[in-house]
Structure 1
Amino acid sequence: MHRVRLSIPFFKNAGCGITVIAVKPKYIEASIDPVLESLSDDCRVIRVSAFPVKITRKFGLGNLGYRSWFQIKKAGDSLLRKEKFDLVYFSTTAFPVMTLGRIWKQKFNIPFVLDMQDPWRNDFYLSQPKSNRPPKYKIAHFLDSMLEKWTVPHANGMISVSDAYPSTLNQRYKTNIPSSTITFAASYKDFEIVEKSNLVNNIFKKEKDTVTLVYMGAVTPGMPIPVKQTLQAIKEYVLKPDSKKIKAFFIGTSYASSKNPAYRIKSIIKETGLEAFTFESPHRVGYFQSIKLLMDADALLLPGSIEAGYTASKIYPYILSRKPIFAVTHALSSVSKILKGCKAGSVITFKDEKDLLNKQSLINKEFEQFMNALPFETNIDKDYFKPYTDHSVASKQLDFFKRIIKSYVGKTS
């Protein structure tokens, strides 16, 4: 959602006509971001309903993509029948609606581009014990596999935050779909909006002589080990007699939008004996609220994933907050490259799970040095960061769209 929101003003300035189809907020399980709700639309937005989750949950169905599929199809059919459009762009993690790309392409002769922000078919848990798999994983994986296979080979283009996703999909389906690796965007304007807002931090209160550390965002399947290594470093530090007082908060750790989302790292906190210093709040937090929490922190934690293709959208607000960052990330992840290039904090990298486990002493040492250096404000390299700003990211998308449209028109003319 935020990729599109941040890009629309630049698309308009380039002379593009834009229509967005979105689900009405009342049908979305996530809490409504009051600041986002107060912002005016920069283009025509058609908001549709969805089947109420109170009803669909009775049948084990909560995914917004399924609940809103028919309503989005109806709205899209009406638009494409009445008006001339050059491209359909799916920028969402509600993957089932991406199947509409193939339907509309066949019905209205229009190309479509998929924004693969995360893997659609996630195979991570196939290598994990069944006891570690989420509820309904088997049926979810079956449906994701079937729908991805039905849709992706017919896409005209793919945008992704990581080279790994398009590469995997092209290999899987023996296709050669054009792709462009385009990161999420960073917006200085969003920080200005938060500074002028009256948002309140209801998660934590700053305490005198206490360093407040914050991790913001979902804990993905590949993250528990880096999280544990980071917590072990915190434990090692707080046991030192001359250490600073610490409170660490892991916020918005669950992907689930329910009123009682599952804790993702509570067991790890207990295992490391850090219940008095580390706290988890699994409930999802609105985008602007998350910026407020980052701004209120003294320093930020960023344990990455053991998956090389992992790219964290949270990295850009992290960097723009100008708060020191302590990161443990895969050496091939774009996260480590961007953090090092921007000089945004302390970054420990690893090649694989075994390498990570062997680096515990190094992580402990680096974390102690990081804590001893606080407080300080990062001085990011703005020239290095420029390609990740909203204007640059929007320009890359436009260039890719033009290439896809030109190629499609050439094939069909």
Structure 2
Amino acid sequence: MTDRTCIIVSPYFPPSALAGVHRARHLANNLPGAGWTPIVVCVDERFYEEPADPELAKLVDPSVEIVRVEALDQAHARPFGLGDIGLRGYRGIRRAIANLMRTRQIDAVLITGSPFYPMLLSNWIRRTFKVPVVLDFQDPWRSDWGDTLPLLSKGSASHALSKLLEPRAMGGASHVTTVSAEQARKLVARYHALGPQDVTAIPIGSDPADFEALRRGAAPTTIVIDERRWNLTYPGTIWPLVLPTLEAFLQGLAAWRARFPDAAANVTVNFIGTTAQPNNTNEYRVMPLAERAGVADLVNEVPQRLPYVDALTALSRSDAGLMLGSEEAHYTASKLSLFLMSERPYLALFHEQSDAHRSLVKAGGGIALGFARADDLVSRQSELVGALQRLRTQGDAFAPAAPESYTEYTGASVARRYAAIFDRLMARR
């Protein structure tokens, strides 16, 4: 039993298949063990544009209370620039919060994004109900990358809007969480009212129970791994900032095959869910670069985002995993803990100052190569070639990462950290 209750605002929630649902899912499942009862407020799945993932919904504890709200239909809202689920569901989310505040004893509110627009409710919640609000940035709302976009581009307009709206949301935050220490540092530098004690970096986390569900027979709906070949698998999005790292990897792959043709003869490098969109089956982000590097015959790209259990199965059935990061030190792979829990050896290419690189070097179980710029991977191509050869020929020699190496990434650990934040905020009231 718990005697404290929090609202988790997450516009997307299972059965949504989008990556952003896992923060709320892990907290909903694990906060009761840390002394807090969660109530999830999300948009009803009828208003999602993406296909549902019913197997993922089964990984939510059936005891979790979920309030699903109405939203504007996307067909009617999108022509007016209201395609974002955070905008379409904004009024419904606000009404649900108000109703819960009137009828229940609510002690804290967590708003996780993206989508970010519901974070604008922070000032209203604190002013009206005198309840602390934690804003959780799974990605930067306002990014350094946005400053580099052409002035009249769509992305530049979105960035300008984020520069206008993010400060308004932050004004109502009692505490802020991010997924990396570098992202936390940038927020503290941007907002002088925040001190380091007001922003906490907490990983998205993963749950060993998800792999237990696979072992119990959760059935994937899409098979993308040819188990007759040696498979190196990257499950996740390919976004603009990771392209230099990807190109350096593909050049290294070509150099490896040129040096060790026999070892590379039966290899497939799988890139799964590269667009992050369940309906996008035609936008190939890796294959054009693979063709340019001369390794297209070694690459299998699945553009559409697969259901979670399918992606987990693909990783589990692969011989090794591949992780790629950007040249930004703040980037932290949300799937890092999944790789460690999968007990698959891995090759990881991350910024040398990133939390991800430091964590993987400490954890073991694979090969972690750090870099300051992606060009470093080109100039140090022999290291990349050696890493691929070692993984291909000695992959079985890697001992799985010890469970203690990913303890801080488990859903239970993440929930305890949020519970501690809620407890501190309650003590100040």
Q: So what's the TM-score if we normalise by structure 2?
A: 0.88
2: distance between equivalents of 1:81 and 1:372? 63
- How far apart are residue 11 of structure 1 and its match? 2.1
Q: Match for 2:199 among 147, 166, 179? A: 179
* Aligned-residue RMSD, C-alpha: 2.2
Distance 1:15 1:27, change over 3 A: same
- How far apart are residue 257 of structure 1 and its match? 4.9
Aligned to 2:308: 287
Q: Does 1:114 align with 2:132?
A: no
Contiguous gaps of at least 5 residues in structure 1 = none
2: distance between equivalents of 1:201 and 1:52? 28
1: distance between equivalents of 2:22 and 2:289? 31
Q: Match for 1:190 among 189, 200, 210? A: 210
Aligned to 2:414: 393
Deviation per residue, 1:203-229 (Å, 9 max, x gap):
424243x21111001123321111111
Aligned pairs, number: 404
| Structure 1, 317-326 or 118-127: larger mean CA deviation | 118-127
- 2:345–2:400: 8 Å Cα contact kept in structure 1? no
- 2:132–2:174: 8 Å Cα contact kept in structure 1? yes
Q: Does 1:167 align with 2:182?
A: no
1: distance between equivalents of 2:252 and 2:63? 45
- 2:287–2:299: 8 Å Cα contact kept in structure 1? no
Identical counterparts, % of pairs: 27
Q: Does 1:224 align with 2:224?
A: no
Aligned to 1:313: 334
1: distance between equivalents of 2:146 and 2:412? 37
Alignment of 1:56-205 (within 5 A): 56-127=77-148, 130=150, 136-177=154-195, 178-200=198-220, 202-205=222-225
| Structure 1, 307-316 or 35-44: larger mean CA deviation | 35-44
| Structure 1, 60-69 or 143-152: larger mean CA deviation | 60-69
SS in structure 1 at match of 2:297? coil
Q: Does 1:373 align with 2:394?
A: yes
Amino acid across the alignment from 1:282? P
1: distance between equivalents of 2:42 and 2:282? 24
Amino acid across the alignment from 2:362? G
| Runs of 4+, deviation exceeding 6 Å | none
1: distance between equivalents of 2:367 and 2:292? 25
- 1:91–1:114: 8 Å Cα contact kept in structure 2? yes
- 1:226–1:304: 8 Å Cα contact kept in structure 2? yes
- How far apart are residue 350 of structure 1 and its match? 0.8
- How far apart are residue 377 of structure 1 and its match? 5.6
- How far apart are residue 47 of structure 1 and its match? 0.5
Aligned to 1:237: 256
Q: So what's the TM-score if we normalise by structure 1?
A: 0.91
Aligned to 1:7: 27
- 1:8–1:42: 8 Å Cα contact kept in structure 2? no
Deviation per residue, 1:103-131 (Å, 9 max, x gap):
21122222100111110112314335x49
| Structure 1, 85-94 or 2-11: larger mean CA deviation | 2-11
Amino acid across the alignment from 1:10? N
Contiguous gaps of at least 5 residues in structure 2 = 1-20
Q: Does 1:55 align with 2:76?
A: yes
Distance 1:272 1:48, change over 3 A: same
SS in structure 2 at match of 1:285? coil
2: distance between equivalents of 1:221 and 1:11? 35
- How far apart are residue 404 of structure 1 and its match? 1.9
Alignment of 1:253-264 (within 5 A): 253-259=274-280, 262-264=283-285
1: distance between equivalents of 2:137 and 2:97? 20
SS in structure 2 at match of 1:289? helix
- 2:28–2:40: 8 Å Cα contact kept in structure 1? no
1: distance between equivalents of 2:177 and 2:243? 28
Distance 1:25 1:194, change over 3 A: farther
SS in structure 2 at match of 1:364? helix
Q: Does 1:212 align with 2:231?
A: yes
Aligned to 2:7: none
